[in-house]
Homo-oligomer: A and B are copies of this chain.
Amino acid sequence: MLAGSFPSAPLERIARKAGAERVSLSAVNALNEVLTEIAEQIAREAIAAANHAGRVTVKREDIKLASR
């Protein structure tokens, strides 16, 4: 199984704030895994964008471009 990168507390907080009455532990873990995958994908595209701009430093604009 995939592992998530984030602590559970903020994920649970987001779910509650979105209106969830109850959230199973495995649902929190699934959200963690999905977000970790998305973060990895955005990071890879942001690095490519930075390199394309002749930089080794990933900047905010690279994240923004990669997130579109």
Contacts and interface: CB of A to CB of B under 8 A. Distances in A.
Contacts of A31: 39, 42-43, 46, 63
Interface string A10-53: 11011101111111101101110011101110111011001000
Nearest to A5: B10
Contacts of A13: 5
Interface of A is mostly: helix
A7 interface: yes
A39 B24 CA distance: 16
Interface of A: 5-7, 10-11, 13-15, 17-24, 26-27, 29-31, 34-36, 38-40, 42-44, 46-47, 50, 56-60, 62-64, 67
